[in-house]
Structure formats: C-alpha cells, structure tokens
Amino acid sequence: MSEQTKLIKELLDYVEEYEKEGKQGGIKAFSIFLRGKVMEPEAPREPEKTFDQQDFRNFKTYPEVEFSTLLTGLYRFAKHYLKKAFTQTAFKTIDEFGFLATLLRDHSLLKNELINEHLLEMSSGSEIIKRLVKNGLIYEYPDEHDRRAKRVSLTVKGQREVFMAFNDMHKVSEIIIGDLKKHELMEALAIFNKLTFFHQHIHQRDKHTDIETLHEKYVNHGA
C-alpha cells in the first residue's frame, strides 16, 4: 500500500469518526475537528473538581466558570468600543451594523433569513429591521416567488453608512485583540471557531431544548 493510499485511508477513518459524532459544518468544521485529533493529543486528565454552588467566592477554581465570566467581560469591553465607533453613524448597535454588512455582502435576503443569520429571536430582529427602514438604511419589497414574504436590501444611504464605518470597525477589532502576538491570535481563532461550530450544531438541532437536556446530551454524554 502506497503512502498516499495509507494517508487517504487514515483520512477516511477520521471522516467516518466525524460523521459518527454527528458533526456538520463543511470543510472548515472538519479541519478544526481534524486538528484536535492530530495536532492536540489529549493530555492525561486530572480529576475534575465537583461544582459546589456554596463555593461561589472561589469561582476561578472552576475553569469553565472563569472562561464564561471572562468571555462575557470581553463582550462588554467590545460593546464599549463599538459605542464609540458608532457615534458618527446612522446606526447605534452591533446588530444594526451586522444586518447592514450582511446585506452589503448578500445584496438581498428574506427578512427571516437575515434575522436567522444573526441568531436573533424573530421579534428582536424585526425591531432592528423596522429601525433600519425608518432611518432610510434599508428598504422592504415583496419576494417575487412568494408575494406574502418580504425581502430587504440596502438603500444608497445604507451602503454609504456601512462603508463609512469600516475603518472605525477595523480599529475596534485591533483594540479588542489587544497585545496578542500573531501566534496567540491564531490559537485563539482556532479555539473560538471550534466553539462556534459546537454551538451552531446545537442551535440548528436543539434550539428550543431545555438546559437540562442540553447539558446531558452535549456535556455529560460527550464527556
């Protein structure tokens, strides 16, 4: 058996394992899975500390709790910088900017497609669309295949506002990554991509499932 054939066979074994775990997401998601299997062999597992809610003062002794706390804090820092970036724009939130940037890329989307793209509840997403329409940044029109459905696209003003915001948004991105070295940034991206695909899988399959069932299915069962 040639080296190329061995490599293909080994790769197919990983593809089979990937499918058995019920994972989805295309080549990027598979590459993250493969990286975890090949480049990051499991270290010997240390006994995990059992969670005790009475030990709330020592939350840093639970890495999963500290991770969630730090992630929430980073999001709040990001919101603070974004607020500064939006002072000269016709929109005021990252969700509004996200809607506009998505329409700049895709040109036209059904309203529910745009809302789902940003993982928002339909009511919250509809309010954002109303504000953007009111401010003259997007416009609605009937879908040619289903006249009951509404599509949205950018207005000329909306396009102008998005392009005007790009430079400041890039500055915010550079501030957010702080003093991370290039290799640290790439490692962080690998971790966040892995987490994103994990949660996209839950969102697509178990969006309305209660927290106890989610924990049992994706944490206990996957441990």
For residue range 154-183, what is the model confidence (pLDDT) as tens digits? 999 999 999 999 999 999 999 999 999 999
Looking at CATH, the fold of the domain delimited by 70-173 is given as Arc Repressor Mutant, subunit A (1.10.10)
- Contact yes or no for 23/33 (Cβ under 8 A): yes
CA dihedral of residues 82, 176, 34, 15 (deg, nearest 10)? 0
Q: Which range is least confidently modeled, 15-24, 35-44, 71-80?
A: 35-44
Q: What are the residues facing 151 on neighbouring strands?
A: 110, 141
Domain layout of the chain by residue ranges = 70-173
- The secondary element (H helix, E strand) that includes residue 151 is strand 150-154
For residues 58-66, average pLDDT = 77
Residues 6 or more apart from 98 whose CB is under 8 A from it?
Answer: 118
- Render the burial of 197-212: b for 16+ CB within 10 Å, e for the rest: bbeebeeeeeeeeeee
- Please report which confidence band the pLDDT of residue 25 belongs to, taking 50, 70 and 90 as the band edges: low
**pLDDT for 187 beyond 70:** yes
Of residues 141 and 43, the one with the higher pLDDT is 141
